[in-house]
Structure 1
Amino acid sequence: MFRSKKVKKAELDQECLDKIFQLKKEWNYLDDILNRSIEPSESGQFDLAIKKAKYFYLLREAKVRRLSAIK
C-alpha cells in the first residue's frame, strides 16, 4: 500500500539521472544538426536552448540531491 520514503527517493533519484542522460543525448543530437545546417532555423535554436536549460536545471537538482551516476 504505502512505500517507504527511501524507496520513493531512490526511484526519483534514478528517474532524475535517466532524464539527465536523455536530455544530454537530445542536446548533442540537436547541436550536431544545427552545426551541420547551412542556415539553422529559429525553432531549432529555440529547442536547443530549452534542452540546455532543462539539462542544467536537472544537473543542479542532482547536485542538491547529491546524486552520482558512478556508484
Structure 2
Amino acid sequence: MPFRKKIKKQHVDQNLLQEIFRLKNEWMKIKDIIDRSVEPSEFGLYELKVAEAKYFYLLREARHRGVSAR
C-alpha cells in the first residue's frame, strides 16, 4: 500500500508512556480503595488484579522497546 500513512516510533512510544502513567494511577486508586475497605468485594479484587496486569504488561512492552520516561 503506497499511500499508507506511517506512524513514527517516537509518537507510539510517547503514547505508550502516557498509557503507562494513566494505568499506574488507576491501579493505585483501586489499590487504595481496597486497602481502606474492611471487607473488599470479589469484584474489587478482580479489578485490582486486572489493573495490575495491564500496568505490568505495558511496563514489559516499554522495556522491550527501550522506552523510558527520562
TM-score, normalized by the shorter chain, greater than 0.5: yes
Percent of aligned positions that are identical: 50
The count of aligned residue pairs is 68
Correspondences of 1:1-71 after superposition (within 5 Å) = 3-4=5-6, 8-70=8-70
Partners of 1:50 and 1:61 in 2: how far apart?
17
Residue type matched to 2:10 in 1? Answer: A
1:10 Cα deviation after fit: 1.3
Residue type matched to 2:46 in 1? Answer: F
Partners of 2:45 and 2:12 in 1: how far apart?
30
Higher percent of residues as helix: 1
Q: For the aligned residues, what is the CA RMSD?
A: 1.4
Which consecutive unaligned segments of at least 5 residues does structure 2 have? Answer: none
Which consecutive unaligned segments of at least 5 residues does structure 1 have? Answer: none
Structure 1 stretches of at least 4 aligned residues deviating more than 2 Å after TM superposition: 1-5
With normalisation by structure 2, the TM-score equals 0.88
